[in-house]
Chains A and B, each alone.
Chain A
Amino acid sequence: MEFPVIFWGVLVWMISWGVIGSIVTRRIYLRKDLDTSSTGMVGAMLGASTGPVGLVPLWMKTPQITNKMMAFPALASVGVFMIAFALADPNNLCVVSGSFVASQISNGIIIGIIYGFMALGLTLIFSILGVVSFAHGEFYMIGGMITYFVTTVWFPEITPLFGIGIACVSTFILGAVFERLFLTPMYTGKIGRPVEYGILITFGLAFTLQYFVQAVVGANPVKAKRFFDFPRVRLPSSADPWLIKTSRGNLELFDTISISNPRLTAAVMCILVFIALMYFLHKTWTGKALRAVSQDREAAAIAGINPDKMNMLAFALGSMIAALAGAMLVQAFSWLPQVGAIPAMRSFVIVVLGGLGSIPGAFLGGVIVGLVEAAGTGCIPNAQQAASYIPAYGMIVLILTLLLRPTGLFGRKYSSGTHGNV
């Protein structure tokens, strides 16, 4: 970075005004008897982006806070941050090359969709069982591993969909069995402190699964080859395909945005499965039963739904979703038994950001995290440094969320069994 002073100086300014904005705005709204539920976040964002210039009018007029009012300052803060970065490091690839930025953004969105999908599984498990599954990342890893072995090692002749299918079925069964053996006691009252037990037992499962796979498969990285080749597309004409140009492994849009095959197919697959999932949840009896249990366990039980069966289904389904994400990405990334840890963390961050129990929140959160990571890795020229910081970006998002808006973007506060006592 050429002028680190600019960057760090602006950052300190933003943080200070953000803190002032958050605290003072809340006080002022409280004194005027107005609703203070979002003042923290709006005050912080407005302070960070506009400093006193935006805050003072807010304090004088104290308008009603709407969703739009929350979005603008947040975007403005991001904008100010980006401008500061651009001024501080004018030779950075992110600042100079528009096509690079466009590529990063689209890749960020695409991978964000996949992250969001995986987070969806986690939010499903939480909203029905009330448990944050710390083993989510390991199901992701297992999904990838099984797919690799089926498609590349054992049955390379059969379509990859077979491998993906096997991975899904096996992890579904694994999830169901685990739930029956280890999670059911949480609901039959045998466990004194179910929340802590849930954390510890899934933590233990994660540990066991990871090392089991390592013991069986070894610690060498594996990678599946590309599942589906792109058809050859040249638009608008063969000679000058500036709109869309595909090769077998890549898609290029507008001559600038380059999207790799594995990621695109993964994202598309995730969207398709998501649509199927939505259909399942809203149009079938079992799906509706699941949603009922997620809203109020005991009420659902009175209505004749067996919450325990729903638990098993939810955990199996949620874990299967993680496995599916892994199954799709094993063609894109190098796979190791350790590969599940970071996606697990990322899923947690997304779920907190989007709001525990919220499906649109999971996707929006996923996209945001995807963009943040793309920016973080793309704009730091030192590749090794950039790679090391990846887990940190998620954590920064987590910390900001917990400080500013703990319920997340779309969250509801309670999971199904708790009746208000989280």
Chain B
Amino acid sequence: MMNKVHAPQLIGLVLVIFFTLFPFVYSGNDYPYIMHIFITGFFYAILASSWSMLAGYAGQFSFGHLGFMGIGAYTAALFSHYFYLSPEPTNFCTEFSLGDSYLIILNPIGVTSSTLAQDCLKQAMEVWNGSVQVSPMPVWLGIVLGTLMGGFFGLLVGYLVLPLRAAYLALFTLGFAEILRAVISAEISITRGQAGIELRHMFENGITLFGRYYAQTDKLPPYFVMFFLLLLCLAILALLARSKFGLFVRALREDQDAAAALGVNTTRYKVLVFVVTSMMAAGAGATMAYYIGIVSPNNIVILQMSLVVAMAVIGGVENFAAAAIGAIFLEFMLEMLRNSFQIGPVVVDMTTWRLVIFGILLMLTLRFSPKGLLIPAIEYFTRGHVAKETVAKRGGESMDDASGVEGEN
């Protein structure tokens, strides 16, 4: 009995060990490619699991989740692109003195050819001619700011959607993501529109871990950063689910008014769940931005949201661990299916067809296995004993079965 109940935990542990050891053990030629898939998988896993907490657990079917991811990514990008520290003032840029140094803010020039209009920092650098060392903002600060910004917008959106139910909430949050994308695309002078903003890499100068040096292009450090972030998010989600927060948001999902009549501050918890999950999405976005090195509004499109939804649903929308595993697995599948092949004279372009397969899988899962593909397995292990116990107790009862009301409720 003990083993059965704990099977999911054991499998989880096995997976964690697998992912921890993998980078050190795998030595195929496609090492960077496989690592990249996993990093992307972890990224989607954070998004899928946080979304599953929001939608599956708390019942808030928000389609704006990628918007929060974008806020995190763009905050980090804008911060990294526009702010610098310098020991000397430039006299060209807006700047503030900060102790010994100066905080320099670049002027927004949008997308231009570099020979025509240089930004103020470049002009200053020309004057200094290499004598002054300007340092960009630290990566961790960008990630923190991105996460906080995501939380702020989560707070805002959480309050705005308070009176909204189901379809209205979905529409509103979808609209929020769309407005965000529109603004980012349109304000080209600040955000460089479709051209995107580049960021410095997470480990620009490489990093030395346990005696081994990893260069900027090495996949191992970002892999573990993303993996760690995923584990952190899952741990937070697990803690929340076990606490009264978890109980309250589930009650919220089941029946918001009944929960309120029983003393649950539904406002507070509805907003809180938005804040927590949006911070996770934003943090993932900021971190991913530093890994990929560039952000663009095309990451916030409906396709991404649909992928996250599909991953969560296929994994199991009411269990964030299942959603996370579903995400990693599906990301892998997506990549594996990337190659086109030929059947006779017809070239099957898998880049698009794999998405079609994905969509069909999503619909079939929803229709025939609504709890996802992983949750039924988990439940089999953890709840199998409950039914047996109830039946046993009932068999020994003297009172006729307790059904007192005609018809089902």
Binding site for B on A (CB under 8 A): 132, 134, 181-182, 185, 191-192, 195-197, 199-201, 203-209, 211-212, 214-215, 341, 345, 348-349, 352, 384-385, 388-392, 394-396, 398-399, 402, 406, 422
Q: Beyond the given A395-B176, A398-B172, A399-B160, could you list 17 further A-B residue pairs with CB under 8 A, ordered by the A residue number?
A: A196-B55, A199-B167, A204-B306, A207-B355, A208-B362, A208-B363, A211-B355, A212-B356, A348-B171, A388-B185, A388-B186, A395-B175, A395-B179, A399-B172, A402-B168, A406-B163, A422-B166
**A196 touching B59, Cβ below 8 Å:** yes
Interchain CA distance A325-B302 in the complex, whole Å: 22
Selected A-B contacts with CB under 8 Å, 9 pairs: A134-B170, A197-B366, A200-B61, A206-B306, A207-B310, A211-B355, A215-B356, A389-B183, A422-B166
**A132 touching B179, Cβ below 8 Å:** no
| Chain A positions within 8 Å of B183 at CB level | 389, 392
Given A208-B363, A352-B168, A388-B182, do A192 and B370 touch, yes or no (CB 8 Å)? yes
Given A182-B367, A390-B182, A392-B183, do A211 and B352 touch, yes or no (CB 8 Å)? yes
B168, B179, B367: which contacts A391 (Cβ < 8 A)? B179
**A391 touching B182, Cβ below 8 Å:** yes
| Chain B positions within 8 Å of A192 at CB level | 370
**B178 touching A345, Cβ below 8 Å:** yes
B174, B188, B359: which contacts A208 (Cβ < 8 A)? B359
**Minimum C-beta distance from A146 to chain B (A):** 18
| Chain A positions within 8 Å of B349 at CB level | 215
**Minimum C-beta distance from B307 to chain A (A):** 9
| Chain B positions within 8 Å of A201 at CB level | 363, 366-367
Q: Using a CB-CB cutoff of 8 Å, which residues 281-300 of chain B contact chain A? A: none
**A352 touching B171, Cβ below 8 Å:** yes
A199, A209, A395: which contacts B170 (Cβ < 8 A)? A199
**B185 touching A200, Cβ below 8 Å:** no
Name which residue of chain A comes closest to B360, CB basis.
A208
Interchain CA distance A270-B360 in the complex, whole Å: 33
**Minimum C-beta distance from A372 to chain B (A):** 14
Interchain CA distance A79-B367 in the complex, whole Å: 50
Interchain CA distance A390-B160 in the complex, whole Å: 22
A132, A200, A395, A406: which contacts B178 (Cβ < 8 A)? A395
Name which residue of chain A comes closest to B367, CB basis.
A182
**A132 touching B182, Cβ below 8 Å:** no
| Chain B positions within 8 Å of A399 at CB level | 160, 172, 175
Interchain CA distance A384-B160 in the complex, whole Å: 30
**Minimum C-beta distance from B74 to chain A (A):** 15
Q: Residues 55-68 of chain B: 1 if any A CB is under 8 Å from the residue's CB, otherwise 0?
A: 10001010100000
| Chain B positions within 8 Å of A384 at CB level | 186, 188, 193
Given A385-B186, A395-B176, do A204 and B359 touch, yes or no (CB 8 Å)? yes
**Minimum C-beta distance from A400 to chain B (A):** 11
Q: Using a CB-CB cutoff of 8 Å, which residues 327-370 of chain B contact chain A? A: 349, 352-353, 355-356, 358-360, 362-363, 366-367, 370
**Minimum C-beta distance from A345 to chain B (A):** 6
| Chain B positions within 8 Å of A341 at CB level | 302
| Chain A positions within 8 Å of B359 at CB level | 204-205, 207-209, 211-212
**Minimum C-beta distance from B37 to chain A (A):** 20
Interchain CA distance A192-B370 in the complex, whole Å: 9
**A195 touching B363, Cβ below 8 Å:** no
| Chain B positions within 8 Å of A211 at CB level | 352-353, 355-356, 359
Interchain CA distance A205-B176 in the complex, whole Å: 22
| Chain B positions within 8 Å of A394 at CB level | 175
Interchain CA distance A208-B310 in the complex, whole Å: 11
Residue B251 lies at the interface, judged by CB distance under 8 Å to chain A:
no
Residue B164 lies at the interface, judged by CB distance under 8 Å to chain A:
yes
| Chain B positions within 8 Å of A349 at CB level | 171, 175
**A204 touching B363, Cβ below 8 Å:** yes
Interchain CA distance A132-B168 in the complex, whole Å: 9
Residue B313 lies at the interface, judged by CB distance under 8 Å to chain A:
yes
Given A200-B309, A204-B310, do A215 and B352 touch, yes or no (CB 8 Å)? yes
**B171 touching A392, Cβ below 8 Å:** no
Best-buried of A192, A352, A392 by chain B (most CB within 10 Å): A392
Interchain CA distance A348-B168 in the complex, whole Å: 9
| Chain A positions within 8 Å of B309 at CB level | 200, 203-204
| Chain A positions within 8 Å of B164 at CB level | 402
Residue B268 lies at the interface, judged by CB distance under 8 Å to chain A:
no
Name which residue of chain B comes closest to A202, CB basis.
B363
Interchain CA distance A410-B385 in the complex, whole Å: 53
**Minimum C-beta distance from A391 to chain B (A):** 4
**Minimum C-beta distance from B128 to chain A (A):** 35
Given A399-B175, A402-B172, do A200 and B313 touch, yes or no (CB 8 Å)? yes
